[in-house]
Structure 1
Amino acid sequence: MKYFPKMQLLIAGFLVILISLAVPVMANNNSPVTPPKIISLAPVSLSDDLREKYSEQTIMVKIKATVSAIGIIDSDIKIITSSGDALFDQAVIDSMKQSVFSPAYTSDNQAVACSILFPLQINVEKYVPDEQVNNEETVKAAER
């Protein structure tokens, strides 16, 4: 698990960059809306199988979600452009559900729900099997 925290940090960094470019799709009223902003972005947690399958790849996923007036993603998340893997897509959805945003605001400073398109690029770091990481750590410990 030596590389797992680094992978989460890298994935979270890319998600922060891409989500900050999110495009407001619509608000509940017709007044101009300031789009939601990221407060806390949950990392995409991939199983060992998915990390091995997509090791050293950049996966594109576009989702449409509604950020509520209290700044959380509602349960109505739609995959617009799939990664091609239902389990990978579900990991992205789970990550978005755990993330927290500031809500969208109307011109008169009222928080409103707002649907957003999130174009995401998830970079999956090189997969290193646990056995190999454990062996490397054992060798390093023996060298000390």
Structure 2
Amino acid sequence: MTPTDDVHAQALKLARTYLGRDDLNGGWFELGGSSLDAARLVSSLDHDHGWKIALQDLLTAPSVADLLTASTATPGAPVAADTPSPVTAPAAGGADVLWPALARLPAGERLALAHRLLGYVLSESGEQP
């Protein structure tokens, strides 16, 4: 089963919201995205639509639009845990953006995000939360 057109449309809408721009033809950091917003997008797609996209895939995709409209991504499909991560620390948009953004969140939202991210990490490793 592949994501429906509605799920693709919602993914693109969320990405545009998080990036604050309509054009999604570029990499996540190149388009001005932060690590925190990427994690939020991946978590929202999983939680709200059952569509699992690896965070590293979103962060390293040459085109966010192409990734989010790919019909080969499967809702609920596990992400290969043994796939080596090509992610390297970006020149801009990494921890220098992530930590201040986290600090601005209300404590309850930081805690909820931490729980969702921990669940994502544990599911990737095959452990139970």
Whether the TM-score (by the shorter chain) exceeds 0.5 is: no
Q: Please, what TM-score do these two structures have when normalized by structure 1?
A: 0.25
Q: Please, what TM-score do these two structures have when normalized by structure 2?
A: 0.28
Larger relative contact order (C-alpha < 8 A, sep ≥ 6)? 1
- Looking at secondary structure, tell me which structure has more strand per residue: 1
Larger of the two Rg values belongs to structure: 1
